[in-house]
C-alpha cells in the first residue's frame, strides 16, 4: 500500500542542510569571486533535489531489495562528497574572516584568499564527478522501480516531558520470575554446567523477548524473598560478543569488588585474584547477553569460581541454545516465551494510550488491539512502537501502521515493529539514531558526549529559542521515550542489541565500530569509525585506516594502543591525510612515549582544518600549540588530565566557535583574558585545576556560558559582576573572597542554576543581609548543596544566621555542611518539608551540642556525622520535632525509614546514644554502619536490632566490641575491628552467626583469641598489626583450629616476635584453602608438620618475609595448587625451577610465582 503519512527519509535532513549551505553568502561569494560555472552549480542543486524525491521509497524498499540498498549507499556517498566540498568552502571563508585585520573584506580580497586555497579547476572537477555519479544513480532509479513523490513532512510532536524508561514495565512474567527464583534458592545442583558448589541457570530466548528485563527483576528482588540474604555478594556483567577470558575475568572481578581499575595484566594472575576474593563467599553472578562463549572459554572462565561458597549461582541470558547447553544442564535451561496477548495489550496501552483523549480512545483501542496481535509477544517491539504512537491520536495514522506492508516482510534480520518505529521518525532523529551505531554493542552512552558529537556532525536542527545543547538533549530524550535508548536504575544509557542492529543497518557503510565484521573495503568507504582496543580483534583489519580520505569521525574508545609500538592503529603521520575529519577523540592514546612524539602528533592535528571536536585528554603536553588555536571550526576541546599543561596561549581567543572547553585536572595557573572573547562558549570546566587561583576579570563577557565548573581549584574569590552571566545553569562552586564578602549577592540573579552548588568561604560574609539576597531558596533546580566555612568561627550567632538564610528549595536531594561554627542548627536543617533529600553529610561542626532532627527526612538514604566535638548525647531531638533544648518531643512514627548507610566519625565526647522505640526498629533498613573514632560511646548504646545490617565497622571503641554478643544482626556479613587499644581478647561473647568475614586491625593489646563465640559461618579472617597476639608467650592463645568453616586466613605485619609459623600443630583449621603471610620481618622458618595437616590448602602467599631462609623439610601440603613468593630474597634462589634447593619440595604445585613472575 502507498503510505499517506510518512516521516522524512534519513538523508532528507542532510540534503536540506546541504542545500542551505550551498545558498549561503560564503558559497555565493566564492562562485562570483572565482567565476565558477554557475550553470554547473545550479545543475548540482537540481540533481540533489531530484534525488530527494525518491528517498522515501528507497528507504522502505532497501529492507528487502539489496540492489536498492546498494543504490542508497552510493547516493549517500555522493551527498557526503558534496557536503565535504561545501563545508571546505565555508571553512576557508571562516578562516579569512578571523585572520582579516580590518574585520571586513572585499570581493577582491575574497578572490585572492580563495585562490590560495581552492582552485576553480579543483572545485569544478569535483562538482562534475559528483554530478556524473548522481546522473548515473538517477538513471538507475528507473530500473530499480523507485517512485518519485513529494517529501511529505509532518510536524514532529514533542513530548511534554520526556522521561526515562520505567524499569517497572514488566507484564506477564510473574510465573517466569518465580521459576527463576525457585532455581536460585534451590540447594540442589542439577546443572551439568556447574561444579559441586555452583549452579548455572540459563535464560534462553529470541532477541527482544525480555531476557535481560527478567534477569534484572530477579537480581533486584532476590534479597527480599527470604528473611536471610541468600547471597553474600552479587555482580552483573554484560558479556555481549566478548569471548576473551581475561576481559571477562577482569570485568567480573571489578564488579564483585566495586573497583574500576584492576592493574593485573596476566590472565592467570587475575584468575587467582578473583579466586581468592570469592573464597568461601556465596555469590550470585549474572552474565547477560552471552554470544560467543565456547566450551574452552567457559571452562577456563569458571575455574575462578571453584573457591566460592556452596550454593553460589550464575544466571546467563542468551539467544543461542548451544551456548545455554555449554553453560547449564537441561534442567536449568529456562526457555523464555513471548508474553500473552492480554499482557501485550496492557504494555502497549501504557506506552501508546497514556495521554489519549477519551473521545478517541475507543477507536484507537480497536486498532491498537489488532496491532498488538502482530508483535508476537515481544516487549521491546511493543514499547518501541507504542512510544511512537503515544504522540499520535489520529486513527488514520494508526490504520496506516496496522496495514503497512512491513509486517509481511518474511525473513528479515530487522523486526518489523522496530523498523516501523524507525521509519516514522523525523529525518533529524533518524540521523542522530544512525550515528549511534559508531559505538560497540552494549557500550555505555554518555548523553553529554553524544550530543557534542552530534553537534560536530551537524546533526542538530537549529531552533531559535534553544541552544544546540538543549536541542540535543531533547533529541536524546525523544530516543529514550521510544526505547531506542534504554536506561537502567543507575541512570546508565545503552542500546538494546536489536536496536543496535537496526542502527547499523540504516547507517550502512558510513558508520563502523571495530566490533563489527569489518574488512579493508568497508574501512575505505567509512565516514565514522570507532575502535575499542581491549576487544579481541585482529588489528591488521584496519591498518589501512590512514588511507581513508573521507573519514569524518575517529573515536578511540579506550587507552590500549600507543603510537610507536609494533602494532598501532595508524601512524601519526597519517593524521594529516584525514582532511575531512570533524571528530578526533584520542583520550590518552599513546601519550606516554615521549615529549617529542607527543608534540609532533598535536602539531599534526593542527592541519585538520575541518575539525570540530578534539579530545586529547591525558596528553602530557607543556603547551597548546598555536596550530590547534587555528582550528577555527572547533566547537569542543577536551584537555582533561593534561598534567604538564600550565597555561593556554592567547591565541585561544581565535576559536570563535568554541562551545565546550574541559581542562579538568590540568596544571594551568592562569586563564588568559583572550578566552573571554569566545562569546559562543557554553561550557568551561576547570575542576581539579589546583594551581588556578583566579578567573579572568572579564569572564562575565561570556554571555552564552551555561556551565562553569571550578570545583577543586584554589580560587580565592569570584570575579566581580558574576550576576551578568544570567544564562548560567551550572555553577559547581561559588567562592566568597576575604575582600569581597558582599559578592554572595551575585548569586541572587542566577536563578537558573541546576545540579550541584558549593558555596565556599562563608566565614568571609560581611553583611548577613547579603546572604538573603543570594535567594538560595528560590533555586528550584538545585539538587545538591554544599555549604563550607574555613578556619575558626569566632561569632557563632552570625554563623547560625548565615546558615539560616541559606535555606535551599525543598527539591534538594543532597546536603553537606562543613566547618559550621554555630551552636545549633536553624529549623530548616532536618525539616520534614525536605522530602527529596537522599544524602546528608555534616562535618566538623565543632560548636554544635545537638544534632538536627534528621529522622524526619523520609527519603534519606545516606547520613554521615563527623567532628561534632561538643556532642555528648544523641537523643530524641535526632529523630523528632524536639525543641532546640530538647525539652519537648514529638517522635514521628518511623524515623530514618529509608536510611541505608549511617556513619559517625571523630565524635570525641559522644557518650550516649538513645534510640526511640518504634515498630520494626528505628534503623531497620540500615545496611552499613560505621562507628569510627567515637572512643567514649558506651557499651549499651550500640543498637541491638538492625535486621538489614550487612557491614559493621568499629574503630577505636573497646566498649562496643563487648556488646556485640547482645546484638541481633541476622544479615551481618562483614565485621571490621580497628584500633581498639584496650581489647585484650576477642571475641567477647558469641558473635552473630551469619558473619562471613572478620577484619582485626591495629589492636595493639590483643593477646588472645577465644575458642568460643565465633560465627559458625566464618569464611575469612584478617589479622593485621596485632603484635602482642603473636608473642611467644601467647603462642597457644591464638588457636584457630576450632574454626572449622574458615577458608581464608590473612596475617599481616605481626611485628618482630613471630619467627616460625605456625608455632604449634593444630593452631590452624584444616578447612583452610588460602593462607597469606604478609610483612613478617623476623619469620625464619615454616612449621612443615603443622602445615601438612591442612589438607585443603590450595593457595599460599608469602610476601615481604626478608628473613625466611627455606621451605620446610617436610614440604608443603600436597593439595597446594598456587604458590606466590614475593620480596623474600633468601628464599627466592632456593625455589628456582630445576636448580633451587627447595625446588623438589614445590615442583608438584601447578602454579608458582616468584616476585610477580611465573616460573
| pLDDT surpasses 50 at 567 | no
* Number of helices (H), then strands (E), in the chain: 29, 41
Query: Which of 542-556, 623-637, 844-858, 1084-1098 is predicted with the least confidence, judged by mean pLDDT?
Result: 542-556
Residues 466 and 543 in one domain: no
Q: Which residue bears the cell 591495629?
A: 1002
Nearest to 35 by CA among 149, 121, 104, 136: 121
Tens of pLDDT, residue by residue over 935-985, are: 999 888 888 889 999 999 999 988 888 888 888 898 999 999 999 988 888
The pLDDT value given to residue 491: 79
| pLDDT surpasses 50 at 417 | yes
Tell me, yes or no, whether 292 lies in a domain.
yes
The pLDDT value given to residue 50: 84
Residue-averaged pLDDT of the chain = 83
Count of Cβ atoms closer than 10 Å to residue 797 Cβ: 11
Tens of pLDDT, residue by residue over 1008-1030, are: 888 888 998 899 999 999 988 88
Residues 191 and 323 in one domain: yes
Confidence bin at 145 (pLDDT 50/70/90): confident
Tens of pLDDT, residue by residue over 584-613, are: 988 754 444 444 556 667 778 888 889 999
Tell me, yes or no, whether 731 lies in a domain.
yes
Going by the DSSP 8-state scheme, the letter that residue 713 receives in this structure is S
The pLDDT value given to residue 564: 36
Tens of pLDDT, residue by residue over 52-69, are: 888 888 877 887 788 888
Count of Cβ atoms closer than 10 Å to residue 1085 Cβ: 15
Q: Which of 383-392, 594-603, 732-741, 820-829 has the highest mean pLDDT?
A: 820-829
The pLDDT value given to residue 406: 67
Distances (CA, A) of 986 to 15, 955, 971, 1071, 1106: 77, 15, 21, 21, 30
Is 1053 within 8 Å of 1028 (Cβ atoms)? Answer: no
Tens of pLDDT, residue by residue over 439-451, are: 988 888 999 999 9
Residues 192 and 328 in one domain: yes
| Cβ-Cβ contacts under 8 Å for 409 (sequence gap 6 or more) | 63, 64, 416, 419
- Helix (H) / strand (E) element for 287: namely strand 283-290
The pLDDT value given to residue 518: 47
Tell me, yes or no, whether 160 lies in a domain.
no
The angle subtended at Cα 370 by Cα 369 and Cα 373, nearest 5°, is: 90
Residues 775 and 904 in one domain: no
In 630-670, the DSSP E strands lie at 636-638, 660-662
Query: Which of 454-458, 891-895, 899-903, 961-965 is predicted with the least confidence, judged by mean pLDDT?
Result: 891-895
The pLDDT value given to residue 540: 47
Tell me, yes or no, whether 358 lies in a domain.
yes
- Domains held by the chain: number: 6
The pLDDT value given to residue 371: 84
The pLDDT value given to residue 158: 38
The pLDDT value given to residue 89: 80
Tell me, yes or no, whether 984 lies in a domain.
no
| pLDDT surpasses 60 at 642 | yes
Confidence bin at 715 (pLDDT 50/70/90): very high
HSE-up of residue 412 (Cα within 13 Å, Cβ side): 19
Tens of pLDDT, residue by residue over 185-215, are: 876 544 334 445 688 999 988 777 888 888 9
Percent residues over pLDDT 70 in the chain: 86
The pLDDT value given to residue 599: 66
Is 403 within 8 Å of 454 (Cβ atoms)? Answer: no
Tell me, yes or no, whether 775 lies in a domain.
yes
Confidence bin at 884 (pLDDT 50/70/90): very low
Q: Tell me the CATH number at 583.
A: 3.80.10.10
Residues 857 and 804 in one domain: no
The pLDDT value given to residue 847: 93
- Return the C-alpha cell found at 705: 556560558
Nearest to 847 by CA among 932, 919, 789, 930: 789
| pLDDT surpasses 60 at 1127 | yes
Q: Tell me the CATH number at 247.
A: 3.40.50.300
Strands 755-760 and 782-788: parallel
Structural domain harbouring 201: 174-335
Query: Which of 27-31, 430-434, 690-694 is predicted with the least confidence, judged by mean pLDDT?
Result: 27-31
Strands 283-290 and 233-240: parallel
Q: Taken in order 57, 59, 62, 67, is the CA torsion positive or negative?
A: positive
Tell me, yes or no, whether 244 lies in a domain.
yes
Residues 787 and 852 in one domain: no
Nearest to 691 by CA among 645, 740, 733: 645
Tell me, yes or no, whether 958 lies in a domain.
no
Residues 186 and 308 in one domain: yes
Tens of pLDDT, residue by residue over 96-130, are: 666 664 344 433 343 343 444 567 678 888 888 88
Q: Which residue bears the cell 593524521?
A: 575
Distance of CA 71 to the CA centre of its chain: 40
The pLDDT value given to residue 979: 92
* SS3 per-residue string spanning 1074-1115: EEEEECCCCCCEECHHHHHCCCCCCEEEEECCCCCCCCCCCC
Residues 437 and 292 in one domain: no
Residues 527 and 669 in one domain: yes
Residues 105 and 244 in one domain: no
Buried b (16+ CB within 10 A) or exposed e, 1026-1063: bbbbbeeebbebbbbbebeebbbbbbbbbbebbbbbbb
Average pLDDT of the segment spanning 307-332: 84
Confidence bin at 162 (pLDDT 50/70/90): very low
Residues 321 and 210 in one domain: yes
The pLDDT value given to residue 742: 58
Residues 753 and 779 in one domain: yes
Confidence bin at 405 (pLDDT 50/70/90): low
Amino acid at each position: 500500500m502507498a503510505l499517506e503519512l510518512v516521516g522524512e527519509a534519513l538523508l532528507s535532513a542532510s540534503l536540506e542542510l546541504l542545500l542551505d549551505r550551498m545558498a549561503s553568502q560564503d558559497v555565493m561569494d566564492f562562485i562570483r569571486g572565482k567565476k565558477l560555472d554557475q550553470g554547473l552549480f545550479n545543475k548540482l542543486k537540481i540533481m540533489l533535489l531530484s534525488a530527494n524525491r525518491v528517498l522515501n521509497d528507497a528507504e522502505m524498499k532497501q529492507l528487502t531489495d539489496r540492489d536498492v540498498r546498494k543504490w542508497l549507499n552510493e547516493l549517500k556517498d555522493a551527498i557526503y562528497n558534496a557536503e565535504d566540498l561545501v563545508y571546505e568552502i565555508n571553512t576557508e571563508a571562516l578562516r579569512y574572516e578571523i585572520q582579516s585585520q580590518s574585520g571586513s573584506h572585499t570581493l577582491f580580497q575574497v578572490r585572492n584568499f580563495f585562490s590560495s586555497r581552492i582552485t576553480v579547476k579543483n572545485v569544478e572537477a569535483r562538482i562534475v564527478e559528483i554530478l556524473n555519479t548522481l546522473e548515473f544513480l538517477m538513471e538507475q532509479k528507473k530500473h530499480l522501480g523507485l517512485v518519485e513523490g513529494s517529501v511529505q513532512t509532518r510536524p514532529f510532536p514533542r513530548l511534554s516531558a520526556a522521561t526515562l524508561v520505567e524499569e517497572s514495565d514488566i507484564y506477564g512474567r510473574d510465573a517466569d520470575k518465580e521459576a527463576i527464583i525457585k532455581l536460585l534458592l534451590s540447594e540442589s545442583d542439577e546443572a551439568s554446567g556447574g561444579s559441586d558448589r555452583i549452579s548455572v541457570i540459563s535464560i534462553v530466548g529470541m532477541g527482544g523477548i525480555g531476557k535481560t528485563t527478567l534477569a534484572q527483576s530477579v537480581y533486584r528482588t532476590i534479597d527480599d524473598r527470604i528473611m536471610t540474604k541468600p547471597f553474600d555478594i552479587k555482580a552483573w556483567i554484560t558479556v555481549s560478543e566478548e569471548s576473551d577470558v581475561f576481559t571477562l575475568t577482569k570485568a567480573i572481578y571489578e564488579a564483585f569488588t566495586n573497583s574500576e581499575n584492576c592493574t593485573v595484566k596476566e590472565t592467570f594472575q587475575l584468575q587467582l585474584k578473583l579466586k581468592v576474593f570469592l573464597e568461601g563467599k556465596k555469590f550470585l553472578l549474572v552474565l547477560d547477553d552471552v554470544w560467543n562463549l565456547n566450551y574452552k572459554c567457559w571452562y577456563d572462565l569458571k575455574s575462578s569460581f571453584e573457591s566460592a561458597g556452596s550454593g553460589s549461582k550464575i544466571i546467563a541470558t542468551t539467544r543461542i541454545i548451544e551456548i545455554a547447553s555449554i553453560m547449564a544442564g537441561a534442567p536449568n535451561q529456562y526457555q523464555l516465551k513471548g508474553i500473552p496477548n492480554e499482557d501485550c495489550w496492557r504494555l502497549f496501552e501504557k506506552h501508546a494510550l497514556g495521554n489519549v483523549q477519551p473521545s478517541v480512545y475507543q477507536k484507537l483501542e480497536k486498532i491498537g488491539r489488532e496491532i498488538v496481535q502482530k508483535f508476537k509477544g515481544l516487549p521491546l517491539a511493543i514499547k518501541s512502537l507504542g512510544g511512537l504512537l503515544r504522540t499520535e491520536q489520529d486513527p488514520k495514522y494508526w490504520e496506516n501502521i496496522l496495514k503497512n506492508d512491513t509486517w509481511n516482510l518474511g525473513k528479515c534480520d530487522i523486526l518489523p515493529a522496530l523498523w516501523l518505529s524507525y521509519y516514522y521518525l523525523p529525518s533529524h532523529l533518524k540521523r542522530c539514531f544512525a550515528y549511534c551505531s559508531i559505538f560497540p554493542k552494549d557500550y555505555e552512552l554518555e548523553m553529554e558526549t553524544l550530543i557534542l558529537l552530534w553537534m560536530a556532525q551537524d546533526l542538530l536542527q537549529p531552533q531559535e529559542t534553544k541552544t544546540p545543547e538543549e536541542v540535543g538533549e531533547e533529541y536524546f530524550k525523544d530516543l529514550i521515550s521510544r526505547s531506542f535508548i534504554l536506561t537502567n536504575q543507575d541512570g546508565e544509557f545503552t542500546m538494546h542489541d536489536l536496536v543496535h542492529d537496526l542502527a547499523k543497518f540504516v547507517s550502512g557503510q558510513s558508520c563502523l565500530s571495530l566490533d563489527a565484521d569489518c574488512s579493508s573495503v568497508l574501512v575505505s568507504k567509512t565516514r565514522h569509525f570507532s575502535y575499542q582496543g581491549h576487544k579481541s580483534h585482529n588489528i591488521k583489519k584496519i591498518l589501512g585506516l590512514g588511507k581513508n580520505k573521507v573519514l569524518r569521525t575517529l573515536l578511540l574508545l579506550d587507552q590500549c594502543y600507543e603510537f610507536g609500538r609494533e602494532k598501532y592503529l595508524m601512524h601519526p603521520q597519517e593524521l594529516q591525510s584525514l582532511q575531512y575529519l570533524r571528530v578526533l577523540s584520542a583520550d590518552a592514546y599513546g601519550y606516554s612515549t615521549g615529549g617529542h612524539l607527543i608534540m609532533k602528533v598535536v602539531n599534526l592535528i593542527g592541519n585538520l582544518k575541518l575539525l570540530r571536536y578534539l579530545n586529547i585528554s591525558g596528553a602530557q603536553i607543556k603547551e597548546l600549540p598555536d596550530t590547534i588555536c587555528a582550528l577555527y571550526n572547533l566547537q569542543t576541546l577536551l584537555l582533561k588530565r593534561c598534567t604538564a599543561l600550565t597555561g593556554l596561549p592567547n591565541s585561544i581567543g581565535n576559536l570563535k566557535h568554541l562551545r565546550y572547553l574541559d581542562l579538568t585536572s590540568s596544571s594551568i595557573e592562569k586563564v588568559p583574558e583572550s578566552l573571554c572573547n569566545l562569546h559562543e562558549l557554553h561550557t568551561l570546566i576547570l575542576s581539579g585545576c589546583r594551581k588556578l587561583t583566579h578567573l579572568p576579570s572579564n569572564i562575565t563577557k561570556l554571555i552564552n556560558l551555561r556551565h562553569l565548573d571550578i570545583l577543586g581549584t584554589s580560587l580565592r574569590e569570584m570575579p566581580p559582576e558574576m550576576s551578568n552571566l544570567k544564562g548560567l545553569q551550572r555553577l559547581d562552586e561559588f567562592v566568597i573572597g576575604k575582600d569581597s564578602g558582599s559578592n554572595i549577592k551575585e548569586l541572587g540573579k542566577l536563578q537558573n542554576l541546576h545540579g550541584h552548588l558549593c558555596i565556599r568561604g562563608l566565614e568571609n560574609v560581611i553583611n548577613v543581609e547579603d546572604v538573603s539576597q543570594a535567594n538560595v531558596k528560590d533555586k528550584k533546580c538545585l539538587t545538591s548543596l554544599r555549604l563550607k566555612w574555613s578556619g575558626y568561627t569566632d561569632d557563632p550567632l552570625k554563623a547560625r544566621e548565615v546558615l539560616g538564610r541559606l535555606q535551599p528549595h525543598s527539591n534538594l536531594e543532597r546536603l553537606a555542611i562543613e566547618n559550621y561554627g554555630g551552636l545549633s542548627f536553624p529549623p530548616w536543617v532536618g525539616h520534614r518539608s525536605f522530602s527529596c533529600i537522599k544524602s546528608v553529610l555534616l562535618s566538623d561542626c565543632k560548636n554544635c551540642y545537638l544534632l538536627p532532627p534528621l529522622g524526619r527526612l523520609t527519603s534519606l538514604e545516606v547520613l554521615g556525622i563527623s567532628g561534632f566535638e561538643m556532642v555528648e548525647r544523641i537523643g530524641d531531638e535526632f529523630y523528632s520535632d524536639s525543641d532546640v533544648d530538647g525539652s519537648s518531643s514529638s517522635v514521628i512514627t518511623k524515623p530514618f525509614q529509608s536510611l541505608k548507610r549511617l556513619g559517625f566519625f571523630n565524635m570525641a565526647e559522644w557518650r550516649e546514644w538513645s534510640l526511640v522505640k518504634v515498630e520494626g526498629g528505628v534503623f531497620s533498613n540500615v545496611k552499613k554502619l560505621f562507628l569510627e573514632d567515637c572512643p567514649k560511646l558506651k557499651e549499651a548504646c550500640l543498637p541491638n536490632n538492625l535486621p538489614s545490617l550487612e557491614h559493621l565497622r568499629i574503630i577505636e571503641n573497646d566498649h562496643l566490641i563487648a556488646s556485640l554478643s547482645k546484638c541481633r544482626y541476622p544479615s551481618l556479613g562483614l565485621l571490621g575491628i580497628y584500633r581498639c587499644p584496650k581489647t585484650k581478647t576477642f571475641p567477647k561473647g558469641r558473635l552473630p552467626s551469619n558473619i562471613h568475614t572478620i577484619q582485626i586491625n591495629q589492636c595493639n593489646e590483643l593477646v588472645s583469641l577465644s575458642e568460643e563465640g565465633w560465627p559458625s559461618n566464618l569464611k575469612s579472617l584478617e589479622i593485621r598489626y596485632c603484635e602482642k597476639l603473636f608473642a611467644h608467650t601467647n603462642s597457644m592463645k591464638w588457636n584457630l583450629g576450632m574454626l572449622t568453616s574458615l577458608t581464608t586466613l590473612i596475617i599481616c605485619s605481626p611485628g618482630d616476635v613471630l619467627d616460625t609459623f605456625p608455632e604449634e600443630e593444630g593452631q590452624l583449621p584444616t578447612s583452610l584453602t588460602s593462607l597469606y603471610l604478609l610483612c613478617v620481618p623476623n619469620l625464619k622458618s615454616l612449621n612443615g608438620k603443622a602445615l601438612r595437616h591442612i589438607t585443603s590448602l590450595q593457595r599460599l602467599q608469602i610476601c615481604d618475609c626478608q628473613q625466611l631462609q627455606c621451605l620446610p623439610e617436610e614440604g608443603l601440603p600436597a593439595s597446594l595448587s598456587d604458590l606466590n613468593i614475593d620480596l623474600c630474597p633468601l628464599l627466592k634462589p632456593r625455589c628456582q625451577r630445576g636448580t633451587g634447593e627447595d625446588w623438589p619440595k614445590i615442583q608438584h604445585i601447578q602454579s608458582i610465582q616468584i616476585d610477580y613472575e611465573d616460573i
